[in-house]
Structure 1
Amino acid sequence: MAPYLESVRSFADVPITDAGVDTVAFLEAAQGLVGLFGDADLLGSAAFSVVQSDLKSNIAKVRARYDAATAVSATLEQLVENEKGEKKRTATEGLLWLLRGLSFTCKALQNSQANKSEELAAAFNKSYEGTLKQFHNFVVKGIFSVAMKACPYRNDFYTKLAADPAGGPPATQEKLDEELNKWLAALAAIVARMEEFYEKGGHGKGF
């Protein structure tokens, strides 16, 4: 077992059809990822509260749009298309920033998985350079720099991720790697799909 990962919806279990990525399932999986930054105390740094807060805020924006227009928001693509003609596209912008935050986290953990001798701070720094940094001003860059320096030690993070909150035996490293890699691969595929959708439709203009 990989206890934390099995306690939340996996991105691998988010249905994707010809109509697009299932909105509710995606938001549930994204909420599970937010737990890494605070709720489950896995990354264990108050400095990461800015990341957690940003992800939560953008999940809420997409959720509010879904609740207000459920019939035309079953998939992320439909939700964005439906909001297109409106003056203020709050959910479209929120989803764009949510995808950026998810991409940052995904690439950081993929870096960590690919480089077993590397500390988390290095993995997150490398990811930040290639994802969020280009969208941030000087002040926000400084906040993220502090957050990444405060990353827990690699061993502490993986020990917490493998631990069973109920007190049972922890997941083996092999099982943990298997579950985490599957989770991250599915997330990366969704992010890539949605980035292409935004690019082709020009949905990110103005944000």
Structure 2
Amino acid sequence: MGQWLVESCVSEKFNACRRACGDSSVPAAELADAAIALISIFDLIKGMGIAKSDMMGNADVLKRQAEANPGASVQELIKKELEQADLKKLLKGHEFKDAPLDDKGKPVQNVCVSMLWLQRALIFICVLLETLQTEPKLKTAVDAGYAASIKQHHGFVVKGVFAAASNAAPSKEKFVGLLADEEEEAMSAITEMLPVVKEILNILGPFMKEIGAETGNYPPGYLCAA
């Protein structure tokens, strides 16, 4: 049996991020740390390696940008980018020559587009975990999380990849056993953590909508005013 909820320190990291948030700002370093912990949940779901890799890539961009700009908020980093390039260029993946480098020595992607996809990834996982509390199958929860978040932004081919991945999901019993020793313990921890993640998303959401980056439709309670 596993102890992912304990070993990942995911709840503690999101609580630390929330404490460091302002009324309209989210600390980049703390969010990157918390997001990386939460995304690691896909290590427990067979077939979700591609999804995890993409999400981790966006979280890593935020982490590297935060390290290069100590103490900066997500909002400050994106506003700085918008002073140098328009939104259209950023959303097409514009790279800044003075950006921190990735493991291959290339400038990392801009924060705006990485944050756009990262917040959708966090919604994916939150809805997955919410659904898991009442649904008997993990596959149903994975499908619900995907449909509520990223699916609307994917084309036919990528949707097919995700469909195949969800079909490979293990049983709910096996998955929950990797989260914590007892199902009650796992569900209790999830119930306590999700509102904190939502609060952070509801600080990010209005900002991303205000600058015109986020135009998707999400479940009630996400990417909206808290």
TM-score > 0.5, shorter chain as reference: yes
The aligned residue for residue 17 of structure 1 is 22
Letter of the 1:13 partner, please give it: A
The aligned residue for residue 142 of structure 2 is 124
- 1:186 equivalent to 2:204? Answer no
Structure richer in helix, relative to its length? 1
Which contiguous aligned blocks of 4+ residues in structure 1 show a shift greater than 6 angstroms? none
Q: Deviation of residue 30 (structure 1)? A: 0.8
The aligned residue for residue 113 of structure 2 is 93
Q: Deviation of residue 77 (structure 1)? A: 1.6
Trace 1:22-33 onto structure 2 (pairs within 5 A): 22-33=27-38
* Contact 2:10 2:38 (C-alpha < 8 Å) held by counterparts: no
Q: Deviation of residue 136 (structure 1)? A: 0.2
The aligned residue for residue 165 of structure 1 is none
Letter of the 1:192 partner, please give it: N
Q: Deviation of residue 184 (structure 1)? A: 1.8
Trace 1:1-207 onto structure 2 (pairs within 5 A): 3-7=3-7, 8-10=9-11, 11-14=14-17, 15-18=20-23, 20-38=25-43, 42-43=44-45, 45=46, 47-70=47-70, 74-87=72-85, 89=90, 90-113=110-133, 115=134, 117-162=135-180, 170=181, 172-204=182-214
**DSSP 3-state at the match of 1:18:** coil
Change (3 A) 1:204 1:83: farther
- Deviation digits for residues 148-184 of structure 1, max 9, x if unmatched? 111110000111111xxxxxxx3x4333222111222
* Contact 2:28 2:74 (C-alpha < 8 Å) held by counterparts: yes
Q: Structure 2 regions of 5+ residues with no counterpart? A: 91-109, 216-226
**DSSP 3-state at the match of 1:17:** coil
Cα RMSD of the aligned pairs, angstroms, is: 2.0
Q: Distance in 2 between matches of 1:22 and 1:9?
A: 16
**DSSP 3-state at the match of 1:183:** helix
Q: Distance in 1 between matches of 2:200 and 2:23?
A: 13
**DSSP 3-state at the match of 2:33:** helix
- Deviation digits for residues 4-57 of structure 1, max 9, x if unmatched? 22332422331222351121111111111122112xxx22x1x20111101111
Q: Distance in 1 between matches of 2:59 and 2:144?
A: 25
* Contact 1:22 1:75 (C-alpha < 8 Å) held by counterparts: yes
* Contact 1:100 1:132 (C-alpha < 8 Å) held by counterparts: yes
Q: Deviation of residue 204 (structure 1)? A: 4.2
Q: Deviation of residue 145 (structure 1)? A: 0.4
Q: Deviation of residue 135 (structure 1)? A: 0.2
Greater Cα offset, 83-92 or 141-150: 83-92
